[in-house]
Structure 1
């Protein structure tokens, strides 16, 4: 868990926000900037997964292959994220949870659920400077989608319960941040007529 420092932009809110999307969508960039502006902690499922890999002396792809062999690693990670969501869902304090399943795992505890995406060629270009190759990214996406469906009967393509769905290829990083910032600052719980129900999953 990380706590960001002060920002030139401040957002006065107590919202619990989840940020999700495929590799290269800009979820980490947005989460870091939001946490900075909101002055709150944020947890990344990717960071936790990478920590699991390091603890086991594996690289990311080796851990993905290991995760494909059994549900132990995935369920441990998801259970941890769900526990974090439960804690912050009751805290009435601002918090950012970022992972592919963050919206599902937080469920009704989250105040705002965001899905980011971009065309595949854009996302591939964005991960050029990462250790993960284009092919590895595609393998990871297919592998994760299969595991989510197998373990929890989750269709990762179901975006119906997200409050915001943003194509990050259409705006700059600052533009995406400002879109979300406006949504947070304009949110009025007294005028909120209700979110879509998030399907419940059992870890």
Structure 2
């Protein structure tokens, strides 16, 4: 549903939601629309990564190169995201956290964990207008998966604990939002028989 000006109608909820997925999955689009409808803050791992680059007087390419050669950057990023998750997990207020590891980092503090994906050719077309090239995207995905496995023994392909998994190539942006909106509005803690548990991380 939408208001007369085209913006999504408000969602009355206090859920802490995580959104994760590979580049081009549609996470930013969904999070921006959700944050608007829920009237809540939205923090992305990309924003925190840019903050880390600014803190170190580096550009994104320089920081990415450093992250490939050392665990310092990844751990600093994950620690900040985990601190944010801890803060909002106790707040009983609506909040959205988006990053590849958001579901892992938030763990059982999150009320709803979402994984978005789409076939590689669709995702590549979506990032075509970004600075990142096709080769860079593929290298980054492989590099990140290796680092997650090395640092935390996390298999990023393990999506068993996500509450909702959506192939965003099958629906429009509005359709994806409607699916998530329904999941949020139909969620009732009184009838919730339990989420899959997420192993604790120690960045």
**TM-score, reference length from structure 2:** 0.94
1:20-169 equivalences in 2 (<5 Å): 20-169=20-169
- Cα distance in structure 1, aligned partners of 2:178 and 2:18: 16
SS of equivalent residue, structure 2 residue 23: coil
Task: Work out whether residues 61 and 136 of structure 1, in 8 Å CA contact, stay in contact via their aligned partners in 2.
Answer: no
SS of equivalent residue, structure 1 residue 116: strand
Deviations, residues 28-48 of structure 1 (Å, cap 9, x unaligned): 110110000000001000111
- List, as ranges, runs of 4+ consecutive aligned residues in structure 1 with deviation greater than 4 Å: none
The residue number in structure 2 matching 1:175 is 175
Deviations, residues 58-81 of structure 1 (Å, cap 9, x unaligned): 443332221011111110110000
Report the aligned-residue RMSD.
Answer: 1.3
The residue number in structure 2 matching 1:195 is 195
Matched positions, count: 198
SS of equivalent residue, structure 2 residue 171: coil
Quote the offset at 1:57 in angstroms: 4.3
SS of equivalent residue, structure 2 residue 190: helix
SS of equivalent residue, structure 2 residue 197: coil
Task: Work out whether residues 17 and 96 of structure 1, in 8 Å CA contact, stay in contact via their aligned partners in 2.
Answer: yes
**TM-score, reference length from structure 1:** 0.94
Gaps of 5+ in 1: 1-6
